[in-house]
Chains A and B, each alone.
Chain A
Amino acid sequence: MVETESLHFQFPESLDAILEDVTVSIRPGRTMLSGASGSGKSTFLALCNRLFPENCDGILQGRLKLFGRLHDDYVPGEINQRVGTVFQDPDTQFVMERVDEELIFTLENLSTPISEIERRVTEILESLQLSAYRTREIDSLSGGEKQRIAVACALVGRPEWLLLDEPLTHLDPVTAYEFVEWLDRVTGLNVIVVEHRPHLWGDYFDWHIELERGRIVRNESFCPVDDFAFIKSNASLKNPYHYTIEEVRRDSFQLKRSELHVRAGEVIAILGPNGSGKSTFLRSLTEHDRRVGLVPQSPEHLFFMNSVESELQFGHEDSIESVLSDMSLLDQRHLHPLSLSHGQKRRLAVAIQSLTNKQLLAFDEPTAGQDEPSLHALELLMKRHAEMGRTILFVTHDLSFARIANTFYLMKDGELSGPFKDELWQDTETLRHYQLQGRRARCHSMT
């Protein structure tokens, strides 16, 4: 479908090329495109469905052929009849309120005759086993359901290829696993998937292309891989203390009151699927106790000043110099906090908390959408603060990353159970009960 020859791509405002000398030919089948953030994989995908270079004034050199035709021979919208795309964020893919309206919107765009529309909607929903969703409001669906609807919308125009841009990022492991199984079952299509956590896909793919800083470093048939390995924190555990998590009731949901006994230097993971009450738990913990500092899933939510310096200096008179150098933010001290990279934002958020002498640092879903280097940076950051005598707590559904913790708690329907130690990983019964593992684990090396 895609053939490139010494493809070179860059944005006009930057000196560095996003893609450099890419010569590749993607054949029919299922291809995974992997690589770290900034490796150019999403850009490559955007060139495949012609979102780029049109929308970004990007500079493209070399040759790019789509379906045997030069890419700039296509008129706007033409390629989208043959290529369907699913994006990462379930919340920003829809225009209409209801599932059927969204499908109709897509069919209208493709100038489908009105007499056919009704039948096409029924057909696609049936073939994807989604008929029950036909009149549901999109906003009432879960992340995993939304991604399935996004696939339906991408396929309703009967494309020849389906492109997916990190579609599992916002899903918990069981939902992600079920999504992959479902996709495997319902589509016989040619697929290109951009992904930085290949293990989630098991043996779904035929071919694997990997990019590193804009160049192809792997182009071979796919073999299932293990996830990145994370090593347990070995900070020494000191004086114990405890927190009380107050009960929270909201609509039909109830977070039960619980006591959390922790020790300085301990790394704690709270595990549970989406919607199990992990975020409510964190909220209750952070709201009622001044000893707790929070790093939100989007660290920038903490920021409201105009520079890194004033952000760190907010609310106190202590010196910020040592924290600045400790967090490697010296060069960024005059920058606007919102202009930092994700890793820098996270370090700034942690820096803010360490200046206010928090005993416990709580991270909300810190791994979502992170690539391998970024995950390891996070691992180091957490371990270092544990060694400094803080307690680290994070909620996650990332079972691989959770391995850095000493202690685990499980969350389901607002009820916290634990503590568990490493034996948890052998206890498939419990993991299944807490919807952390599917019926068969895909390529986990559980040691």
Chain B
Amino acid sequence: MSLHDMNPTVKFLTLTFVMFGLALFYNPWTQLVIVVGTVLIQWMATNVSWKRWLLFLIPFLITALGTFWTTLVFGKDLGGETLVTILSQEVTIEERDVAIALSLRVLAFTVLSLLFMLTTDSKRFVMSLMQQAKLSPTIAYSALVGFRFIPLLKRELQQLQYAHRLRGVPLDTRWERLRHVPKLLLPLLAGSIRRAERVAFSMEARGFTGGKRTIYDRVEVKSSDFIWSGVFFALFGFAIWAGI
């Protein structure tokens, strides 16, 4: 019963609910339990590559630390007993707790989002949204085409940069490439529009009208999906209890 098999729409709704719920609680213990619990679930029920997970985590870790620091030093003066003095700012126990809670909340949101992202196949998610959440097939299949366009877009970008470099545009450093981006947008957009039109014609020529069609590859809602939802809600309940 791997988390990878959980119905993507149910998973999405469950995790979104937990995240919105978390926003209502300030207690650091609540956030901490969610962070630890989510990581435990990821460890036990998924085969996510921890290296990838850590790489994705880095920017959010920095954000969390930044939140901690700024709340601690520049946060609203909450009064109370002084704990330490940093940069001539007096930090009280209350202020420290708020800082920890806020940064842990950033982390909790991050690990939940990463859990969803790394255990959900984008194609299956779109298919499931179409079948369970009544997303219109026109939008769903456009999204799928969009995924396929990303490598094409990348290839075209490389061709453009190569051609422009040959014309003497300096494009060797990151900064030079960044400065040249506005000049690349129009040709890239023009190319994309042309491609999009062709794909649209091709889809229509194959009978895709956005209307009635059969669905072969069913993404089912299984009873195990609700067990998983239960697990997350139980974790959330436990986290609230831990915070009281």
Contacts and interface: CB of A to CB of B under 8 A. Distances in A.
B213 A95 contact: no
A114 B195 contact: no
Contacts of A92: 195, 198-199, 202
Interface in A83-135: 83-85, 87, 89, 91-97, 101, 104-114, 117
A108 B198 contact: no
A139 B209 contact: no
Interface in B190-214: 190, 195, 198-209, 211-214
A323 B152 CA distance: 34
A283 B166 CA distance: 10
A356 B213 CA distance: 57
Given A76-B211, A139-B151, A352-B167, A106 B187 contact: no
A153 interface: yes
A93 B199 contact: yes
Contacts of A107: 214, 216
B123 A106 contact: no
B131 to A, nearest CB: 12
A77 B167 contact: no
B205 A114 contact: no
Contacts of A204: none
Interface string B56-92: 0000000000000000000000000000000000000
Contact of B206 (A111, A153, A283): A153
B159 interface: yes
Contact of B144 (A96, A117, A298): A96
B214 A338 contact: no
Interface size class of B (residues with CB under 8 A): 35 or more
Interface stretch (A224-232, A253-261, A301-309, A408-416): A301-309
Contacts of B200: 55
B164 A304 contact: yes
Most B CB contacts (10 A, CB to CB) among A286, A301, A303 go to: A301
Interface string A260-302: 0000000000000000000000010011000001101010111
Given A76-B211, A104-B217, A294-B166, A95 B204 contact: no
Given A139-B151, A304-B164, A95 B145 contact: yes
B215 interface: yes
Contacts of A235: none
- Greatest chain A CB density within 10 A among B141, B209, B214 is at B214
A198 interface: no
B163 A283 contact: no
A81 interface: yes
A303 B159 CA distance: 12
A95 B144 CA distance: 7
A109 B206 contact: yes
Contacts of A314: 167-168
B169 to A, nearest CB: 7
B163 A301 contact: yes
A105 B213 CA distance: 9
A68 interface: no
Nearest to B169: A304
Contacts of A85: 202, 205-206
A104 B216 contact: yes
Interface in B102-159: 123, 141, 144-145, 148, 151-152, 159
A370 B208 CA distance: 31
A22 interface: no
Most buried by A among B148, B203, B206: B206
A58 B29 CA distance: 65
A238 B203 CA distance: 54
A338 B180 CA distance: 18
Contacts of B151: 139
A405 interface: no
A87 B198 CA distance: 9
Interface string A178-203: 00000000000000000000000000
Nearest to B167: A302
Given A77-B209, A80-B204, A95 B199 contact: yes
B179 interface: no
A296 B161 CA distance: 12
Given A55-B201, A93-B199, A94-B148, A114 B209 contact: no
B186 interface: yes
A51 B201 contact: yes
B212 A154 contact: no
A264 to B, nearest CB: 21
Interface string A293-331: 110101011111100000000110000000000000000
B206 to A, nearest CB: 5
Given A314-B167, A338-B187, A49 B205 contact: yes
Contacts of A111: 212-214
Contacts of B141: 95, 105
B212 to A, nearest CB: 6
B166 A286 contact: yes
A108 B216 contact: yes
A113 B198 CA distance: 28
Shortest 8 CB-CB contacts between residues of A and residues of B: A109-B207, A85-B205, A92-B198, A77-B209, A80-B207, A304-B183, A301-B163, A93-B202
15 contacts: A77-B208, A80-B207, A95-B199, A101-B217, A105-B141, A106-B207, A109-B207, A109-B208, A109-B213, A112-B214, A113-B214, A293-B166, A301-B159, A301-B187, A304-B183
Interface of A: 46, 49, 51, 55, 76-77, 80-81, 83-85, 87, 89, 91-97, 101, 104-114, 117, 139, 153-154, 157, 283, 286-287, 293-294, 296, 298, 300-305, 314-315, 338, 352, 356
Given A51-B205, A109-B208, 17 more contacts: A46-B201, A80-B207, A85-B206, A91-B195, A94-B148, A95-B141, A105-B206, A106-B207, A108-B214, A109-B213, A114-B214, A117-B214, A139-B151, A300-B187, A302-B164, A302-B166, A304-B164
